[in-house]
Amino acid sequence: METEEINYELRLYVAGKTAKSATALSNLKKYCEEHLKGQYAIEVIDLLVKPQLAEGDQIFAIPTLVRKVPEPIRKIIGDLSNEEKVLVGLDIRPR
């Protein structure tokens, strides 16, 4: 995993600057820096600004983290406070 290729495309859906959203984003950044340095891209989508995007990724809970790449798509909802679960959810760590 030493290549500079972006293996992980992550999208974080939030709704405004709520505490939960902020926690989720900071948690996510922390895990990614730790485990996926250099091979990830995070896109933050604020549904208050772009509500039409909610349908496409089947978002109903906030915050939701969507792993677009690699397939299959995976979703993690919540403020991502449990590192173990997030890493398993993103298939970074084997179950």
Q: Where on the chain is the footprint of other proteins (CB under 8 A)?
A: 13, 15, 20, 23-24, 47-48, 51-52, 54-55, 58-64, 72-82, 85-86, 88-89
User: Closest approach of Cβ 65 to other proteins, in Å?
Assistant: 9
User: Closest approach of Cβ 2 to other proteins, in Å?
Assistant: 28
Return the number of the residue (2 or 19) whose C-beta is nearest other proteins: 19
Q: Sign of the C-alpha dihedral, residues 23, 38, 53, 45? A: positive
User: Closest approach of Cβ 19 to other proteins, in Å?
Assistant: 9
Q: Which residue has the tokens 């990614």?
A: 32
Measured CA to CA, the distance from residue 49 to residue 29 in angstroms comes to: 22
Any idea of the CA torsion for 43, 24, 62, 6, to the nearest 10 degrees? 30
